[in-house]
């Protein structure tokens, strides 16, 4: 099975490469190999590799920057998806976000719930989803982190080492996602030849504040941080950002777990695994 993986240097791309099944003949590509904003380059790449499957792990993920750069976000998160679908004979596995939802739900979002993005990034990702065919596979995830990535965990570790105190929003609720776990779920869905929409995040629920508190506790226990600093829970209104973010974006992952018939690891357990990995590199 010839598999083209875009975004190969990203958090998910690296996880997909690390967890790929032995029978997958991987063709990882980065921005240097192909600029996804260039539709003709996308078509040429797909023609040249002639993959059975494309896993599109590339995206414009700078949520705040997208507010003032929506056209670039749309080029990568939407128009590149259309170009992949147009060039491709095989299946597209595409990845999207909890930020396609508006956050007004009072229960976890199911794969077929209606979308209503409230940011430029969310709109660009929703538009990308719309380009998929029925035979393609869409996996929505949230709050992704991994070793070496640009993510909330690494931002917190840096700020906790530098600052005397932190304030973190406590009224945005969701669940973090460890990239290698997401990658395994994607390979599991590919093995089942799944199509349609699936959700994957780690198990459990958190606010960004809860996540920050857990990061500090686990990092102190592992010796990644020397001293605890006070972390204050704040409302979103006290932390203004260019992009609006959903107040509640928990993903209901039961359809995915039922199909794969496996367990669902709690985010705190995955966080500990990641921090142990970070600690072993120090
Ligand atoms: N990160 C998160 O919290 C979440 C991510 N997602 C989705 O999951 C998927 C994977 O995200 P993640 O791995 O975290 O993202 P990353 O930002 O870690 O990686 C994205 C990759 O896409 C590449 N890329 C960006 N623009 C282009 C371009 N024009 N041409 C070629 N490559 C490009 C980037 O390259 P470069 O480094 O050179 O820019 C980067 O390697 C995405 O679809 C994202 O929307 C969903 C929910 C949460
Ligand atoms: C650094 C910092 C952030 N925050 C808040 C801002 C924001 O509401 C929240 C998370 O901040 P970040 O900028 O790390 O997260 P953000 O980039 O918005 O993360 C999102 O990225 C995209 C790609 C997705 O698809 C989403 O699922 C989600 O993971 O924490 C604080 O309250 N205090 C702080 O000191
Ligand atoms: Mg970010």
Q: 190 with 93: CB under 8 angstroms?
A: yes
Nearest CA to ligand 1 atom 1: 144
Tokens of 254: 């039961």
Tokens of 26: 């991987």
Question: CB 139: neighbour CB atoms within 10 A?
Answer: 22
State which of 31, 131, 180, 253 you would mutate to test the pocket of ligand 1, scoring each by most atoms of that ligand within 8 A of its C-beta.
31
Ligand 3 centroid – CA 124 distance (Å): 15
**31 exposure class (CB count in 10 Å sphere: 0-12, 13-18, 19+):** middle
What residue segments make up the domains of the chain, in order of their start? 2-281
What integer best gives the mean pLDDT of the chain? 97
Q: Is the pLDDT of residue 139 over 90?
A: yes
Tokens of 124: 């660009």
Per-residue pLDDT tens for 114-125? Answer: 999 999 999 999
Q: Quick one: residue 21, left, alpha or beta (phi over 0 = left, psi -120 to 50 = alpha)?
A: beta
Ligand 1 centroid – CA 69 distance (Å): 16
Ligand 2 centroid – CA 18 distance (Å): 26
Per-residue pLDDT tens for 144-192? Answer: 999 988 899 999 999 999 999 999 999 999 999 999 999 999 999 999 9
Average pLDDT (209-223) is 97
Edge to edge, the sheet with strand 137-141 lists 25-28, 2-6, 53-56, 91-97, 137-141, 196-199
Query: 104 falls in which pLDDT band (50, 70, 90)?
Result: very high
Task: Indicate whether this model's pTM tops 0.90.
Answer: yes
* Catalytic residue check, 121: yes
Q: 28 with 8: CB under 8 angstroms?
A: yes
Query: 282 falls in which pLDDT band (50, 70, 90)?
Result: low
Nearest CA to ligand 1 atom 41: 10
Ligand 3 centroid – CA 87 distance (Å): 30
Nearest CA to ligand 1 atom 7: 96
Q: 37 with 76: CB under 8 angstroms?
A: yes
Query: 101 falls in which pLDDT band (50, 70, 90)?
Result: very high
pLDDT of the residue at 38: 96
Per-residue pLDDT tens for 187-207? Answer: 999 999 999 999 999 999 999
Per-residue pLDDT tens for 41-70? Answer: 999 999 999 999 999 999 999 999 999 999
The listed CATH number (3.40.50.300, 3.30.70.1290, 3.40.50.720, 3.40.640.10) that belongs to domain 2-281: 3.40.50.720
Question: Which entry of 60, 109, 121, 145 is annotated as an active-site residue?
Answer: 121
pLDDT of the residue at 60: 98
Average pLDDT (273-277) is 95
Tokens of 2: 């010839």
Pocket flag, ligand 2, residue 275 (CB < 6 Å): no
Pocket flag, ligand 2, residue 99 (CB < 6 Å): yes
Pocket flag, ligand 2, residue 208 (CB < 6 Å): yes
Q: Give me the count of residues in the chain.
A: 282
- Phi, then psi, of 140 in degrees rounded to 5: -95, 140
């Amino acid at each position: 099975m010839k598999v083209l993986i875009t975004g190969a240097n990203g958090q998910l791309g690296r996880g997909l490469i690390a967890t790929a099944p032995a029978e997958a003949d991987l063709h990882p590509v980065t921005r240097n190999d192909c600029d996804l904003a260039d539709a003709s380059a996308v078509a040429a790449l797909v023609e040249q590799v002639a993959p059975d499957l494309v896993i599109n792990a590339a995206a414009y993920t700078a949520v705040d920057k997208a507010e003032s750069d929506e056209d670039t976000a749309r080029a990568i998160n939407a128009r590149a998806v259309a170009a992949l679908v147009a060039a491709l004979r095989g299946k597209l596995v595409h990845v999207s976000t909890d930020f396609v939802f508006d956050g007004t739900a009072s229960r976890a979002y199911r794969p077929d719930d209606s979308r209503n993005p409230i940011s430029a990034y969310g709109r660009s990702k929703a538009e990308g989803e719309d380009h998929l065919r029925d035979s393609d596979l869409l996996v929505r995830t949230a709050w992704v982190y991994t070793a070496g990535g640009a993510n909330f965990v690494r931002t917190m570790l840096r700020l906790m080492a530098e600052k005397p105190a932190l304030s973190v929003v406590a009224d945005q609720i969701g669940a973090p996602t460890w990239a290698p776990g997401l990658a395994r779920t994607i390979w599991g869905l590919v093995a089942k030849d799944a199509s349609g929409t699936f959700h994957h995040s780690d198990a459990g629920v958190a606010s960004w504040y809860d996540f920050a508190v857990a990061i500090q506790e686990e990092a102190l226990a592992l010796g990644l941080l020397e001293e605890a600093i006070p972390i204050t829970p704040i409302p979103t209104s006290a932390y203004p950002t260019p992009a609006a973010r959903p107040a509640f974006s928990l993903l209901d992952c039961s359809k995915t777990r039922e199909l794969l018939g496996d367990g669902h690891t709690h985010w705190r357990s995955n966080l500990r695994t990641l921090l142990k990995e970070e600690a072993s590199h120090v």
